[in-house]
Copies of this chain bind each other. A is one copy, B any other.
Amino acid sequence: MYIPTYADVEAAHARILPYIHRTPVLTSSYINGLAGAELYFKCENFQKAAAFKARGASNAVFGLTEAQAAKGVATHSSGNHGLCLSYAAGRRGIACTVVMPRTAPQAKKDAVRGYGGRVVECEPSTSSREAVFAQVVAETGAEFVHPYNDPRVIAGQATCSRELNEQVPGLDAVIAPIGGGGMISGTCLTLSTIAPGVKVYAGEPEQADDAARSFRAGHIIADDAPETVADGLKVPLKELTWHFVQKHVTDILTVSEDEIIEAMKLIWKRMKIVMEPSSAVPLAAILRNPQVFKGQRVGVIITGGNVDLDKLPWM
């Protein structure tokens, strides 16, 4: 298992610069008042394909040799990674195949195709997904880009906190949501190198709290099929992300479904931005644990903005 280094992050940043946005950092004096802290929201909902995953996907795609690139890339994802890999492949002009359960929302399939990717459907089970994916790779020779357990992807995600640290020097802490742990791992990698005094926290839904339980147990615990409104956070840690989590994360704070929805609505209402439920988990964790962040300068990663406007969680 290759552990990416900060040199990989610098190389990733130079490589992906033409294909990603340097996203803005927004603040809300109203929300600061509620939290009793100074919050700096790094808005990856304004990122290309509306998710931070455009960073890791672009780093993987643009790091391929010409020979590798000729065979294209492939992944399995019904979320933002599939969309972002399709975006990055489209920018390089290479093939991208995304294996998705046939039950995935039509909008997500359309979005992958909108960026030029190919959707191959499987049954909604792990065995079907693995069989179909193996067949895709056998037929195309495509390079597998895992959504998070991949050093190229983690080095790409790590560019987000590199920007944040430039935009807001002197932070006391950074908090991001945790699912598979790609963003958290990238955040740990960057901050432990260039700003080791900044604490890294993760926010996680109570209903998908496998990372919090892993953190306390000292080994990876994976749940079967957790259900949460924060649909980007259902996947388990893997060895590479576990490495960063157990080594550099200060704490993993869990929140209820109601707290997630309330924090999401608060951000929409006061900050006038569209973001997805997963992105509200960190603010929910801050509001639930004010004593942890009291008076501090805290970076908060808004991870993405892909949400179905016809099915908002408060409808």
CB of B305 within 8 A of CB of A314, answer no
Q: How far is the CA of A274 from the CA of B45 in the complex (A)?
A: 12
* A67 close to B (CB within 8 Å): no
A312 CB contacts on chain B under 8 angstroms: 309, 312
Chain B residue, CB-CB nearest to A46: B272
Total interface residues in chain A, CB < 8 Å:
18
CB of A309 within 8 A of CB of B272, answer no
Q: How far is the CA of A113 from the CA of B268 in the complex (A)?
A: 21
Interface centre among A24, A272, A273 (most CB of B within 10 A): A272
Q: Say yes or no: A272-B273 contact (C-beta < 8 A), given A265-B309, A310-B314.
A: yes
Q: How far is the CA of A274 from the CA of B24 in the complex (A)?
A: 16
Q: How far is the CA of A50 from the CA of B272 in the complex (A)?
A: 8
* A83 close to B (CB within 8 Å): no
Interface centre among A26, A309, A312 (most CB of B within 10 A): A309
* A315 close to B (CB within 8 Å): yes
**Closest Cβ of chain B: how far from A244's Cβ, in Å?**
28
A315 CB contacts on chain B under 8 angstroms: 315
A284 CB contacts on chain B under 8 angstroms: none
A265 CB contacts on chain B under 8 angstroms: 309
Q: How far is the CA of A239 from the CA of B312 in the complex (A)?
A: 43
A45 CB contacts on chain B under 8 angstroms: 272
**Closest Cβ of chain B: how far from A44's Cβ, in Å?**
10
**Closest Cβ of chain B: how far from A113's Cβ, in Å?**
14
CB of A275 within 8 A of CB of B272, answer yes
Task: Select which of B26, B309, B314 is within 8 A of A268 by beta carbon.
Answer: B309
CB of A268 within 8 A of CB of B274, answer yes
**Closest Cβ of chain B: how far from A279's Cβ, in Å?**
11
A309 CB contacts on chain B under 8 angstroms: 265, 268-269, 312, 314
CB-defined interface of A295-314 with B at 8 Å, one 1/0 digit per residue?
00000000001000110101
Chain B residue, CB-CB nearest to A302: B272
Task: Select which of B24, B310, B314 is within 8 A of A24 by beta carbon.
Answer: B24
Chain B residue, CB-CB nearest to A114: B30
Write 11 A-B pairs (CB below 8 A) sorted by A numbering.
A24-B24, A26-B46, A45-B272, A268-B309, A272-B273, A272-B275, A273-B273, A273-B274, A309-B312, A309-B314, A310-B314
Known pairs A26-B46, A265-B309, A315-B315; list 6 more (Cβ under 8 Å): A46-B272, A269-B309, A272-B273, A273-B274, A309-B314, A310-B314
Of all A-B residue pairs in the complex, the 5 with the closest CB atoms, nearest first, are A272-B305, A272-B274, A45-B272, A268-B274, A46-B272
